[in-house]
Chains A and B, each alone.
Chain A
Amino acid sequence: MPPAGATIRRQLTVDRVAAVFAVATLAVAWIAGSMLAQRDDERLIRRALPEADRLEPRGTGAYAAYRSGDLVGFIATGDARGYGGPIRVAVGVSPQGVVVGTAVMAHAETPSFFKRVASRGYLGQLVDKRYDEAFEIGSDLHAITGATVTSRALAEAVRAASRQVAGEHLRLPVEPPLSPPVRFGAPEVAVLLLFAAGFAERRFRTKHRSTLRWATLLSGLLVLGFWYNTPLTISKVSALLIGYWPAWQSNLYWYFLIGGILLVATVSGKNAYCAGFCPFGAAQECLGAIGGARLTVGHRVRRNLMWLQRGLAWAALVLALLFRNPGVSSYEVFGTLFSFTGTAAAFFVLAVVLMLSMFVRRPWCRFLCPLNPLYDLVRMLRERIIALWNSPRTGGAPLSI
């Protein structure tokens, strides 16, 4: 049996090789995804105006569409934020400024919401509307029940694209788009307070530390979980990696959350979110408090499951980057708990995880959550950078932190 030091060194080497492999393959997936997206863009754009036999680029991403040499319209793409992420729609507009066709080019929407909207022909409501109509749910459009945010996002995308064509290519009068108002409300305040509470809990080691920790956990569960249903998911991370950066004015919450996590991880190496106020982690801890969560899993099984978890996180990111669609590989069951939506598999896994949580500590976080391996990667990179930074001052010997 090799000595413990040799085993740890071997595991560290394996971890580093795996990290390099993961980063390299993610970079390849990112590049391949961009190339595939470019290749498919024109084909998908054509679906917005299928009668055209020739498209001519006209700048700002728009195309003039011709049939037998006659102009039959223009195609532009519009973007809007759905519930899970951005949605991009190609919109065909006639020379009179009427929407004649739409095609979803890419979306990062939660698959169940998107399927609901797509299967009920919602996009059909948007055809035959003039560019200067309201395109508003409750005014001239009916939302699909249970997918209102997705319905609204599709309408906004089509409105934006049709108005772009009308203003830039048809020279029709268009009202200038309003810049989105800065949204700073309860979720933003809550996430800042939770970071502050986590900081206070670590900084001031009082006898009330455990109480403070439970307070942040329960606040996370109730506010970020059941109230706003805004836990951090792998699709949020992959959306940012792909380049879908939402407008900061209406997404301060996400910038505070992800920026705060990265800031704390960089400065202190700690994981402020998972241990502090992740709503799903809190739900598991509550059940653990009821059941005791005293059973432990053997080292070998734990190690194998850790690699399975890393593989899942890697596969989820690779698929999202390849298809440039963060929703495609999102497998978390957070929404199933907090908004009672999801597939049969999601409900099954949720039930399994919640039952296990009573006897084993945080089974989702330790064996399934894709964010945990990502955090490991960030931590490993941080340690490596610190080691490299310190090495000249210590005669080449990297410092451990």
Chain B
Amino acid sequence: MGMKSSHSARFAWVLSATMILLLASSAAAAVESTSTPDEGVAGADDPSRIARWNALREAVFGKREVAEGSAVIQMEVPARALDAALMPLGLTLKGGNTIKGVYLFIDNNPSPLAGRFLFGPAADPSTLKMRVRINEYTLVHAVAETRDGKLYGTHKFVKAAGGCSAPAGTNEADALKEMGRMKLRLLGEFEPGKPMQALLQIRHPNFNGMQMNQITRMFTPARFIRTVDVSYNGEQVLHVESDISMSEDPAITFGFVPREKGRLEVQAVDSTDARFVHIFDVPAPAAPSAASTDAAPDSPVAEPKDFWLGPVNGPVPATLSGGTVIRAHDLAALLKERSAVVVDVSNSQQRPEKLAPQAVWMPPPHPVIPGSLWIAGAGAGVIDPHTEKLYRQRLAEATKNDLDHPVVVYCHERCWLSWNAAKRAIRYGYRKVYWFPDGIEGWRAAGFGTETLTAAASPS
């Protein structure tokens, strides 16, 4: 996605420039504030608010004019924000495909540029909704950018406070456990070529790094969704760059134009580079139940003769020669009935090399089907000798050298690693190899429990 990378670089620069500028301006404000001690109740038209917006606008748009834009962009916020940590905000855009994107500013949040939204060719840029945090009484600005480079702005004054320093949820452990789950709700009927809307929900705590632990005097490290990319049948719908001003469990409503039945693919990346990918069928599959979190059934992919050497994530075959494909409920029944060796071959999260040395690296606990062995690397297309030896050894130990002992291999949905590792186990001579292609996501979606392993439990 070329669109994404070029914009990301620019966006990052803009953000940091904004930060520096705001640090400077807030220091100035502190000096002035002796005459106006209660800045929190300054009205919508207070000069300090206008000055802050002017500074912000200049930091992001430079000398470009932001025209009064109510003919192009309108904003809807609740008359009174009921929950400062979760304020619904809606934008209505008039201008169709001439609209390239939208900038959202929550002026008085510590990180005021709350999000940037870029519409792709498959978008219907008429509606955008999101949920935001409001730290104190503030103006909220939305600026639409047209494809010919014009800017149109609108704003609202919001009375709410505490949304950043008082997170809505206190169940942090639970939030981390479920991180990366997604739901998509299609709003309206599917009709080819007709614009429709979708509500995308992403389970993520969006820790904003602003809560100080009073005992350690340390801030809970920030961890938040940084980008979200949505495409339909491979065509870009929406690219979002966001940060800590988005609420816990970010939820975005957007419009798109499905020319035919297909799939909406969502990829979210958080500030630790953790990547969450989900694919949703459009129209939604007939049986709803828990299926909204399942990956779409894959189109038929032929089994390769040998190990798969292509991209790890993508459509996988429906079969595995010499083995049995198993689904969640059958697997649960199998595990209940008799002992089987269950092997998770998903990758462990490695500390990114570019991470600053002082940055906290703390991958979330790794959820597995209870009792699983975690053997990262066993599903590589080309396996290194050390890992191969380890994989053979651990299978031999766990099965007590019984080639008729059931072996179940899985990783994630739409992931070739488990297919490769299961095939490998068959080649080692195991006669009852089960491949569970729905992965840990499918296991959970079916309502079964997991246990967690830490990275230390994974062989390096």
Q: Do A and B come from one complex?
A: no
Q: Which residues of B come within 8 Å of A, CB atoms?
A: none
